[in-house]
Amino acid sequence: MAKIRSILCCCGSGLGSSLMVQMNVEKAVKNLGIEGVEEIGHDTINGVNPNSADLFVVGNDLKQLFKDYPRVVILKAILSMDELTKKLEEAFAVEGDEIHIGFDD
């Protein structure tokens, strides 16, 4: 299981959509019974770098900007709890250090 202690939800500008994704991530982590996540936050792409979090959750529109980040979940529908929950469950099941979920969608 991947060690993920911090999750950062990012959007291109403003903070509205990333805040909504953050709230959904918090619900999904709780519903999945995932332990060990100490921080779930949100920011714009201007405020992050690959070391800002253990896992990034972003919309499909930011896929190319995050392609070189080591641990990323890409969402096609940023408000879909079903998609988010499925992809987070998959991310936390990864054994290695690289997590790239949703890049092929």
Angle at 95 between CA 29 and CA 41, to 5 degrees: 35
What residue ranges define each of the domains in the chain, with the CATH number in brackets?
6-101 (3.40.50.2300)
Give the model confidence (pLDDT) of 21-78 as tens digits.
999 999 999 999 999 999 999 999 998 999 999 999 999 999 999 999 999 999 999 9
N-term to C-term CA, the chain: 23
| Edge-to-edge strand list for the sheet holding 99-101 | 39-44, 6-11, 55-59, 71-75, 99-101
Q: Full-prediction pTM beyond 0.85?
A: yes
Query: How confident is residue 1, by pLDDT bands cut at 50, 70 and 90?
Result: low
